[in-house]
């Protein structure tokens, strides 16, 4: 008996700090769901994992803006987003959350294991402190002018305008996002992960992944060429996973280190839920299992450079097989903006329309190699002319003809003419053709191939003229409709 292909598929963990919009769906979620559904149809052993990222600075900032506890924010948006995903048809095997004890235990276990191996470096450093708020400021709590491109509103970890990786102390004219005041520098201590010590192993890892998308490989090699720097794995915060060391009171494990471990803790939760608590190891600690991360391009470095480095440091874990990062979806020519409320919110859409037309259109314009654009006019046109006009039309004309002329019963196939053999050949070859595209995460091309089969099916219906043969050759007509079904 042929051994089943084993896959663990993940979609990026969305922040539980606000509702989902269709831009989220297009990059990391819908393509993954299509890929997973395809593998289930093939009979593969596939588990699909996701969950909420609940320790990000985006959550604490939202909580402060609203004057509530971060727990209030995540308890509001985790169930809301989970329900939105269910409504659009996402078929996760498990949708977890990083505030659960099982995730805190996983994060602390990874941290302690790497700490005990002597891999972390502890160092004293100066960090911005907001005296009025009485707290050290994590990276995204500081904004200022980018020292590289001069753009305003650069964050303490990255400039979104030029993409530069920054330290908060690099910013010009820094100000606290909490009080708006200029912060002061104070001494603190943190543990650092020495990414540079893993640079050669990471380059070798990338060299053995020639099938990765060009945008992902180029991005990773760019980081390695610059020289990988040490990255802090702790922060002075109340919200998050407590650092499990004596003398580390008031410190948490930095979210960029622990959030990606949410894939592991979610798989553990799934294994417990199905009554096989050790089964997660069959996916995370088995070299024959393909680990595939579907993400947006803004998450490449975390999944394709940093996470593999943690797994190498920890040992006993399989490394990601592929990281098919997609580009971004824009809306009517402009970027989605949650702060400006420039978005199509998923629940707003689902309150008005069914999920399938949206899934169809987003698959047709998936931002696989470059940013793509959602247009209401094109959404309407492609839904009407392709989903309804080609595929829906063929289904409808076939079934209504059988209902009207064969008492609603599918007639028998009685001998094949050349045209019958041609369309049966197209049907027979199409799963492998479509599957080959889906194996390469080319959803757009897979969908186009499916529509080409539907076009040929309509041509077959027209050329066979069952409205004529129903009167002149009922057996031939019956064969036509049997093949149509």
Determine the distance from the C-alpha atom of residue 149 to the mean position of all C-alpha atoms in its chain, rounded to a whole number: 30
Question: 121 - beta bridge partners?
Answer: 192
Alpha helix positions (H), 227-321: 255-258, 262-273, 281-284, 300-301, 307-314
Q: Is 131 left (phi over 0), alpha (psi -120 to 50) or beta?
A: alpha
Which pLDDT score is estimated for 1?
64
Instruction: Report how far apart, in Å, the C-alpha atoms of 57 and of each of 49, 231, 266, 270 are.
Output: 23, 17, 21, 27
Short-list 339, 330, 335, 410, CA closest to 365: 330
Burial classification of residue 43, based on how many CB atoms lie within 10 Å of its CB (0-12 exposed, 13-18 middle, 19 or more buried):
exposed
Task: State the CB neighbour count (10 A cutoff) for residue 245.
Answer: 16
**Cα gap 476→118, rounded to integer Å:** 78
Tens of pLDDT, residues 369-402: 999 999 999 999 999 999 999 999 999 999 999 9
Tens of pLDDT, residues 254-297: 998 999 999 999 999 999 999 999 999 999 999 999 999 999 99
Measured CA to CA, the distance from residue 202 to residue 105 in angstroms comes to 27
- The per-residue pLDDT string of the chain (485 residues; one tens digit each, 9 = 90 and over) reads 678 999 999 999 999 999 999 999 999 999 999 999 999 999 999 999 999 999 988 898 889 889 999 999 999 999 999 999 999 999 999 999 999 999 999 999 999 999 999 999 999 988 899 999 888 888 888 999 999 999 998 988 888 788 777 888 889 999 998 888 999 999 999 999 999 999 999 999 999 999 999 999 999 999 999 999 999 999 998 899 999 999 899 999 999 899 999 999 999 999 999 999 999 999 999 999 999 999 999 999 999 999 999 999 999 999 999 999 999 999 999 999 887 889 999 999 999 999 999 999 999 999 999 999 999 999 999 999 999 999 999 999 999 999 999 999 999 999 999 999 999 999 999 999 999 999 999 999 999 999 999 999 999 999 999 999 999 999 999 999 999 99
The pLDDT score that the predictor gives to residue 251 is 94
Report the candidate in 291, 360, 307 with the shortest Cα–Cα distance to residue 49.
Answer: 291
pLDDT of residue 300: 95
- Joined together, the tokens standing for residue 235 give 């922060």
Average pLDDT, the chain: 95
* Dihedral sign computed on CA atoms, order 355, 358, 363, 368: negative
Task: Quote the pLDDT of residue 133.
Answer: 84
| Structural domains of the chain ordered from first start | 6-113+256-373 (3.40.50.620), 120-251 (2.170.220.10), 376-484 (1.10.730.10)
* pLDDT number for residue 160: 78
Q: Using one digit for the tens of pLDDT, what is the confidence trace for 287-312? A: 999 999 999 999 999 999 999 999 99
Residue indicated by tokens 């009407």:
384
Cβ contacts of 384-390, under 8 Å, gap ≥ 24: 386/360, 386/451, 387/356, 387/357, 387/360, 390/451, 390/454, 390/455, 390/458
| Distance of alpha carbon 21 from alpha carbon 28, whole angstroms | 12
């Amino acid at each position: 008996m042929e051994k089943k292909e084993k896959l663990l598929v993940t979609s990026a963990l969305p922040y539980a700090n606000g509702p989902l919009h269709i831009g989220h769906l297009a990059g990391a979620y819908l393509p993954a769901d299509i890929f997973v559904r395809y593998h289930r149809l093939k009979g593969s052993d596939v588990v699909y994992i996701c969950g909420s990222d609940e320790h990000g600075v985006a959550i604490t900032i939202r909580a402060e803006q609203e004057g509530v506890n971060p727990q209030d924010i995540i308890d509001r948006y985790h169930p809301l987003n989970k329900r939105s995903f269910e409504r659009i048809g996402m078929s996760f095997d498990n949708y977890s959350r990083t505030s659960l004890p099982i995730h805190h235990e996983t994060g602390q276990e990874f941290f302690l294991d790497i700490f005990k191996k002597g891999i972390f470096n502890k160092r004293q450093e100066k960090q911005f402190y907001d005296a009025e708020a009485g707290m050290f400021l994590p990276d995204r709590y500081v904004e200022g002018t980018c020292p590289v491109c001069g753009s305003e509103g650069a964050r303490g970890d990255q400039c979104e305008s030029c993409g530069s990786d920054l330290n908060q102390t690099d910013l010009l004219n820094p100000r606290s996002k909490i009080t708006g005041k200029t912060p002061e520098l104070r001494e603190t201590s943190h543990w650092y992960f020495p990414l540079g010590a893993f640079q050669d192993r990471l380059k070798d890892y990338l060299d053995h992944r020639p099938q990765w998308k060009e945008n992902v490989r180029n991005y990773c090699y760019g980081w390695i060429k610059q020289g990988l720097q040490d990255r802090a794995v702790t922060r002075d915060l109340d919200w998050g996973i407590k650092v499990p060391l004596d003398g580390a009171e008031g410190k948490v494990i930095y979210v960029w280190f622990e959030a990606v471990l949410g894939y592991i803790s979610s798989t553990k939760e799934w294994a417990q839920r199905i009554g096989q608590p050790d089964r997660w190891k069959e996916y995370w600690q088995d070299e024959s299992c393909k680990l595939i991360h579907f993400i947006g391009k803004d998450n490449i470095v975390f999944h394709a450079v940093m996470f593999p480095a943690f797994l190498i440091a920890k040992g006993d874990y399989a490394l990601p097989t592929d990281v098919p990062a997609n580009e971004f979806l824009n809306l009517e020519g402009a970027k989605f903006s949650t702060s400006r409320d420039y978005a199509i919110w998923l629940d707003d859409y689902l309150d008005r329309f069914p999920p399938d037309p949206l899934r169809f259109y987003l698959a047709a314009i998936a931002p696989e190699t470059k940013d793509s654009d959602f247009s209401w006019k094109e959404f309407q046109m492609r839904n009407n002319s392709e989903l309804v006009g080609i595929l829906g039309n063929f289904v409808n004309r076939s079934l209504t003809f059988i209902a009207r002329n064969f008492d609603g019963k599918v007639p028998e196939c009685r001998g094949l003419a050349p045209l019958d053999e041609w369309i049966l050949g197209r049907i027979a070859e199409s799963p492998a053709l479509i599957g080959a595209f889906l194996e390469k995460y080319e959803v757009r091309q897979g969908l186009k191939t499916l529509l080409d089969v539907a076009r040929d099916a309509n041509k077959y219906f027209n050329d066979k003229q069952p409205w004529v043969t129903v009167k002149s050759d009922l057996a031939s007509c019956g064969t036509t409709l049997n093949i149509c079904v």
